[in-house]
């Protein structure tokens, strides 16, 4: 059986990263970032510490990659596989990627909510390697989406940068604490797989309504407020949230904040089979920033997604969403 473009790309990218890891004595993820830059430039960009033999092997690989016929999605998937390999080697709690199926379904939702808009701006305040954003961009039919991303982790952001280059997406990227002041104007759409945990900077947390009265504040609550601040009036926010978001001691404050500033559009529970255990299950939470003259939906869209492999059940849910959009948007 012939290998797919994704398999061929992954093999070549992985081989390049492995060579650079050994030659430069760096982590696989660092080597992967360098490999992505080399592939984009079609040469070994920083060859000073690379042996002539390794350089020859690498240049042959880059030539072969740039000869291949592949789509943006092929490159995204291959690069994602390499990222996942690197993350398994060096596990860190903030090195997690949003599953493809969530990104693909999210792109469908965004397309429905923005179907009457030919061009818009989009922000991911916790962009990481950019896999969620580029999945959405690859599946949306809008040709004019100006995209912004923020992340505190410089390595993840470098991986995002090279991945976006390889997929020919133009992103504005900012390497900073996402909960500090952002140099990003309010956007039409925010997407975010909320980082769940405590925010260690209590001084900065004091600038937020959703700060905790005692102890560290929940980072995921602050990300919701920060996203709200950077959304235009009438703009949409698409969050991937833990199912227990409204079960914490701080939940009443969050509920009140949402009620005062945002209109809930949809809450769609993702299939439990997508997650390692029930406690890790997540949902897609869609909000709209209040705007004079814009009414909330007649009813909130509530749905439980079936297994994505169940085509008949999925088609039923899609029909339900299409009808809700028609009646409420």
Fold: same for 5-89 and 100-328: no
Average pLDDT over residues 129-138: 96
Backbone dihedral angles phi then psi of residue 244, each to the nearest 5 degrees: -95, 20
CATH topology of domain 5-89: DNA polymerase; domain 1 (1.10.150)
Fold of 100-328: Rossmann fold (3.40.50)
Q: State residue 92's pLDDT score.
A: 57
Query: For the chain, what are the domain ranges?
Result: 5-89, 100-328
Residue-wise pLDDT tens digits, 176-199 = 999 999 999 999 999 999 999 999
What pLDDT does residue 151 have? 97
Euclidean distance between CA atoms 311 and 306, whole angstroms: 9
Q: What is the pLDDT of residue 98?
A: 75
Separation CA 326–CA 292 (nearest Å): 21
Q: What is residue 279's three-state secondary structure?
A: helix
* Pair 227, 182: CB distance under 8 Å: no
229-276: per-residue pLDDT in tens?
A: 999 999 999 999 999 999 999 999 999 999 999 999 999 999 888 877
H-only helix segments in the chain: 5-24, 28-41, 52-67, 72-89, 100-113, 131-139, 154-166, 202-205, 219-229, 251-261, 311-328
Residues of the chain with pLDDT > 90: what percent?
80
* pTM for the model: 0.94
Token pair of 144 as six digits: 């004019």
- Give me the pLDDT at residue 47, please: 62
Once rounded to an integer, what is the mean pLDDT over residues 216-227? 97
**Please, which residues have CB within 8 angstroms of residue 291's CB and are 6 or more apart in sequence?**
233, 234
Do residues 87 and 17 make contact, with C-beta atoms less than 8 angstroms apart? no
Residue carrying structure tokens 């976006």: 164
- Cβ–Cβ contacts within 10 Å for residue 74, how many? 20
pLDDT of residue 308: 76
Return the pLDDT at 220.
97
Of 80, 107, 68, 98, nearest to 14 by C-alpha is: 80
Q: Which residue has the higher pLDDT, 94 or 146?
A: 146
- Non-local (6+) Cβ contacts of 45 within 8 A are 34, 37, 38
Provide the token pair at 223: 């990300």
Kindly indicate the confidence band of residue 143, based on its pLDDT and cuts at 50, 70 and 90.
low
> Counting every residue, how long is the chain?
329
First-residue to last-residue Cα distance in the chain: 47
**In this structure, how many other beta carbons lie within 10 angstroms of the beta carbon of residue 137?**
22
Ramachandran class of 135: left when φ > 0, alpha when ψ lies in -120 to 50, beta otherwise: alpha
Looking at the predicted structure, is the pLDDT value of residue 96 above 70?
no
> How far are the Cα atoms of 62, 111, 270, 316, 321 from residue 324, in angstroms, in the given order?
48, 14, 18, 12, 5
């Amino acid at each position: 059986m012939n290998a797919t473009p994704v398999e061929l790309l992954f093999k070549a990218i992985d081989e390049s990263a492995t060579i650079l890891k050994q030659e430069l004595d760096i982590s696989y993820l660092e080597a992967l970032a360098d490999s992505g830059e080399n592939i984009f430039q079609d040469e070994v960009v920083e060859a000073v510490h690379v042996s002539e033999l390794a350089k020859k092997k690498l240049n042959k690989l880059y030539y072969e990659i740039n000869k291949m016929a592949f789509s943006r999605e092929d490159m995204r998937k291959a690069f994602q596989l390499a990222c996942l390999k690197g993350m398994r080697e060096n596990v860190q709690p903030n090195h997690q990627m949003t599953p493809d199926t969530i990104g693909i379904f999210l792109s469908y939702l965004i397309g429905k909510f923005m179907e009457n808009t030919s061009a818009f701006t989009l922000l991911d305040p916790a962009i990481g390697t950019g896999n969620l954003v580029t999945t959405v961009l690859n599946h949306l039919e809008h040709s004019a989406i100006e995209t912004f991303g923020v992340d505190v982790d410089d390595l993840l952001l470098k991986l995002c940068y090279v991945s976006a280059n390889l997929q020919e997406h133009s992103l504005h990227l900012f390497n900073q604490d996402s909960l500090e002041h952002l140099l990003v104007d309010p956007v039409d759409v925010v997407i975010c797989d909320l980082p769940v945990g405590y925010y260690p900077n209590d001084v900065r947390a004091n600038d937020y309504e959703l700060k905790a009265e005692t102890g560290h504040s929940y980072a995921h609550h602050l990300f919701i407020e920060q996203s709200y601040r950077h959304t235009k009036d009438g703009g949409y926010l698409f969050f991937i949230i833990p199912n227990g978001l409204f079960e914490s001691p701080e939940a009443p404050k969050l509920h009140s904040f949402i009620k005062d500033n945002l209109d809930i559009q949809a809450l769609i529970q993702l299939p439990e089979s997508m997650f390692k255990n029930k406690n890790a299950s997540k949902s897609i939470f869609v909000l709209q920033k209040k705007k004079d003259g814009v009414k909330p939906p007649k009813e909130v869209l509530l749905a439980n997604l079936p297994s994505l492999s169940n085509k008949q059940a999925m088609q039923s849910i899609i029909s339900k969403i299409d009808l809700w959009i028609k009646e409420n948007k």
